[in-house]
């Protein structure tokens, strides 16, 4: 029998950055909030102490902080003609599980997405004409503007202790930062991390070629810092255990050491971990969400939590899955191009090269999640003419590395055997003497890239797995080829002893190799109910008391990492719920 809990004001599914921000903001305003997290409770003190948290086998090789694929995974394929098979081992992307979600083991690199993305279709049509957009590319304007998000970006950067340097402060261009960024009202709360030799080399090479490199902004605190909620950060120790690991020195901005503990101080907030949400329930007329069903994974009990507002914040992919399994909205069909849930799934592309210098020592074991120097000349720079390259989107190019961990990082020159004594010797020779130049590239949505439910495979709760159909399309092949050319140009200008050839991603997407956990689309944002699942307030067009927070609302993917935008959207949505929605509950916010 299902155990029912009395109705609360808000139930939030998932306790990562998005869920944590909403939980903190809404409970603080006096609303009674329940946060449901499928994974376990954890704290920095109990779970991230040294030496345990530096266990590479546990956290890198066995992806100890990621979703447990034995309980829940995805089936994947490149084309609709193929049979999708379950991802049984990570993997292209590694979404988190447990309190704090992926925000616990992210790198921290933080970008502000701008009107270049939010008005993507209008921008390209205006500049290049409608014919420039491939017929099967389903880009659309988002309906939100940078101006609406600016104060919320600012707040998120302060909460997460983002270290960086402004490139456009109130319209004043400053070349030490990103000169192509949109105007920001304030500096970052902390200065950039100390740059490494690899960063310095990249900076010099890029500048000499006329580009505009700058230290990436990242939620790795460059100094001890107290955020506006009174949370104390330690200074980044450059330990190199950032991506895929928790931070023991409270130097990485994570929901686990910021918004979640602040929410937990509120008597109006209740956290329930080990609570795996399986379905959003609706009223008979299907116009309202009434609450969620979840499984208590400790006791095995089926539970129902009633709520006036339901917020999905379970990571983009899981948000989409919950919409599909709950039967909310119309399922997207790539053949008829009807339906919306699952539409516009996108990912990112890239290219990279290793540069080997016999006369340099890089000390790669000293690093941080955002210890890279990056340039935005071929992405946010709208003066960059895409017509000769014939692609939509762009790529950021960076130099440096995030880690030099012994199990994960062993660069060897081309031609080195992949095991045995020759490999060991080469690794010992080059470990200290290698740096990386790489590109992060955008991926535009395509009618044949989408998410739906698999008809064969089920998860541990007996719900169908979500099926991912994805491949890079010619637009992305051209972009990645262009980015590989830039890497080649910058790398060669440094005159390394040896360099690997920067290979563009022009072969089918490979689910087995880690690329990034920047999966977007599935419950997209747009200007009206015929082109989108949510409006610019992340509010469902169908059920006005349902809000969706996560990268599933992005109608396309940028070269930028997603979390800066997620933070801003979460703070903005919380504000809208508190100040507008609560005055007219159940109404569409226009």
Ligand X SMILES: Cc1cc2nc3c(=O)[nH]c(=O)nc-3n(C[C@H](O)[C@H](O)[C@H](O)COP(=O)(O)OP(=O)(O)OC[C@H]3O[C@@H](n4cnc5c(N)ncnc54)[C@H](O)[C@@H]3O)c2cc1C
Residues that bind ligand X (CB under 6 A): 13-19, 36-39, 94-98, 101-103, 105-109, 243-244, 276-277, 313-315, 318, 369, 517-518, 550-551, 561-563, 566
Least Cβ distance, residue 80 to ligand X (angstroms): 26
Closest CA to 6 of 191, 249, 200, 270: 270
Which CB, 15 or 484, lies closer to ligand X? 15
User: Of 244 and 473, which has the nearer Cβ to ligand X?
Assistant: 244
Cβ distance 75 to 470 under 8 Å? no
504 contacts 484 by C-beta, under 8 angstroms: yes
Is the Cβ of residue 105 or residue 467 nearer to ligand X in the bound state?
105
Residue 456: left (phi > 0), alpha (psi -120 to 50), or beta? alpha
Q: Closest separation between CB of residue 475 and ligand X, Å?
A: 23
Q: Please, what is the minimum distance in Å from the beta carbon of residue 397 to ligand X?
A: 16
Nearer to ligand X, 133 or 568 (CB): 568
Minimum distance of ligand X from residue 17's CB (angstroms): 4
Terminal CA-CA length for the chain: 40
Four-CA torsion 195, 198, 199, 205, nearest 10 degrees: 150
The structure tokens 């992305």 sit at 476
518 part of the active site: yes
The alpha carbon torsion through 46, 50, 55, 58 (nearest 10 deg) reads 0
How far apart, in Å, are the Cα atoms of 512 and each of 71, 214, 234, 344, 508? 18, 32, 35, 22, 12
Active-site choice (60, 105, 379, 518): 518
Closest CA to 438 of 392, 505, 387: 505
| Nearest partner of 511 among 92, 111, 97, judged by Cα | 92
User: Measured from the CB of residue 288, what is the shortest distance to ligand X in angstroms?
Assistant: 20
**Among residues 107 and 442, whose Cβ is nearest to ligand X?**
107
Residues 6+ apart with CB under 8 A from 300: none
If the CB atoms of residues 205 and 231 are measured against ligand X, the closer one turns out to be: 231
CB of 514 to ligand X, least distance (A): 8
Q: The tokens of 422 are what?
A: 């020759």
The helix/strand/coil state of 138 is: coil
Closest approach of ligand X to the CB of residue 269, in Å? 16
In angstroms, the CA 160 to CA 110 distance is 9
Q: How far, in Å, are 214, 255, 302, 459 from residue 102 at the CA level? A: 26, 9, 26, 20
Strands across the sheet containing 349-356: 214-215, 372-375, 395-400, 434-441, 349-356, 498-499
- Are 105 and 64 a contacting pair, CB within 8 Å? no
- Please identify which residue in the block is written with the tokens 């602040």: 262
Tokens of 60: 């890198």
How far, in Å, CA of 481 to CA of 503, rounded? 8
Nearest Cα to Cα of residue 412 among 381, 379, 390, 434: 434
Q: Which is nearer to ligand X, 426 or 523 (CB)?
A: 523
**C-alpha dist (Å) from residue 370 to 220, 357, 527:** 7, 23, 34
Q: Closer CB to ligand X, residue 496 or residue 567?
A: 567
- Those residues with Cβ within 8 angstroms of residue 520's Cβ, 6 or more apart along the chain or in another chain: 316, 344, 345, 346, 347, 551, 552, 554, 556, 557, 562
Specify burial of residue 36 (Cβ count, 10 A radius: 0-12, 13-18, 19+).
buried
Shortest distance, position 203 Cβ to ligand X, whole Å: 20
Minimum Å gap between C-beta 278 and ligand X is 7
Q: In whole angstroms, how close is the CB of 376 to ligand X at the nearest point?
A: 15
Check if the beta carbon of residue 444 is closer than 8 Å to that of residue 393: yes
**Sign of the C-alpha dihedral, residues 329, 333, 334, 337?**
negative
103 neighbors 88 (Cβ within 8 angstroms): no
Q: Cβ of residue 431: shortest distance to ligand X, in angstroms?
A: 22
Active-site positions read: 518
């Amino acid at each position: 029998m299902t155990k029912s809990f009395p109705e609360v004001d808000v139930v939030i599914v998932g306790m990562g950055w998005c869920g944590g921000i909403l939980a903190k903001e809404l409970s603080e305003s006096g609303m009674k909030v329940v946060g449901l997290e499928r994974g376990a409770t954890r704290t920095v003190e109990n779970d991230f102490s040294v030496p345990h948290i530096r266990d590479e086998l546990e956290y890198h090789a066995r992806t100890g902080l990621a979703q447990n694929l034995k309980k829940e995974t995805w089936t994947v394929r490149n084309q609709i003609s193929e049979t999708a098979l379950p991802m049984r081992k990570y993997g292209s992307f590694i979404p988190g599980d447990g309190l704090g979600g992926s925000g616990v083991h992210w790198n921290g690199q933080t970008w502000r997405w701008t009107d270049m993305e939010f008005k993507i279709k209008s921008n390209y049509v205006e500049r290049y004409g409608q014919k420039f957009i491939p017929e099967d590319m389903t880009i659309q304007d988002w309906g939100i503007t940078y101006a609406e998000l600016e104060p919320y970006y600012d707040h998120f950067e302060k909460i997460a202790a983002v270290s960086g340097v402004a490139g456009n402060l109130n319209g004043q261009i400053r070349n030490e930062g990103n000169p192509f960024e949109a105007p920001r009202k304030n500096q970052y709360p902390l200065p950039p991390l100390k740059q490494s030799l690899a960063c310095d080399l990249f900076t010099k090479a890029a500048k000499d070629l006329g580009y505009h490199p700058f230290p990436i902004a990242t939620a790795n605190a460059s100094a001890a810092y107290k955020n506006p909620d009174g949370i104390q950060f330690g200074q980044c120790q450059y330990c190199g255990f950032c991506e895929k690991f928790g931070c023991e020195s409270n130097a990485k901005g994570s929901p686990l050491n910021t918004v979640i503990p602040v929410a937990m101080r509120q008597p109006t907030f209740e956290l329930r971990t080990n609570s795996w949400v399986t379905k959003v329930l609706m009223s008979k007329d299907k116009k309202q969400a009434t609450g969620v069903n979840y499984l208590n994974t400790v006791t095995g009990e089926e539970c129902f939590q009633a709520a006036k507002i339901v917020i999905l914040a379970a990571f983009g992919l899981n948000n989409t899955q919950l919409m599909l399994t709950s039967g909310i909205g119309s399922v997207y069909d790539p053949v008829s191009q009807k339906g919306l849930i699952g539409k516009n799934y996108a990912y990112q592309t890239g290219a990279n090269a290793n540069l080997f210098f016999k006369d340099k020592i890089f000390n790669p074991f000293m690093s941080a999640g955002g210890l890279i120097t990056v340039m935005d000349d071929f992405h946010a720079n709208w003066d960059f003419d895409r017509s000769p390259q014939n692609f939509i989107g762009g790529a950021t190019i960076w130099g440096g590395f995030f880690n030099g961990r012994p199990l994960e990082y062993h660069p060897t020159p081309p031609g080195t055997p992949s095991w045995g004594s020759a490999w060991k010797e080469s690794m010992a020779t080059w470990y200290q003497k290698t740096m990386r130049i790489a590109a992060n590239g955008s991926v535009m949505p395509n009618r044949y890239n989408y998410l739906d439910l698999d008809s064969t495979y089920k998860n541990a709760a007996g719900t169908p797995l979500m099926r991912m159909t994805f491949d890079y399309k010619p637009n992305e092949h051209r972009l990645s080829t262009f980015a590989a050319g830039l890497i080649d140009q910058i790398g060669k200008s440094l005159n390394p002893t040896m360099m690997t050839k920067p290979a563009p991603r022009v072969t089918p997407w490979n689910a087995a190799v880690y690329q990034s956990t920047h999966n977007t689309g599935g419950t997209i944002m747009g200007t009206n109910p015929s082109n989108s699942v949510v409006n610019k307030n992340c509010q469902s067009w169908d059920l006005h008391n349902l809000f969706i927070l996560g990268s599933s609302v992005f109608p396309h993917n940028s070269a930028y990492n997603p979390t800066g935008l997620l933070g801003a959207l979460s703070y903005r949505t919380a504000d809208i719920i508190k100040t507008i929605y609560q005055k007219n509950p159940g109404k569409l916010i226009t």
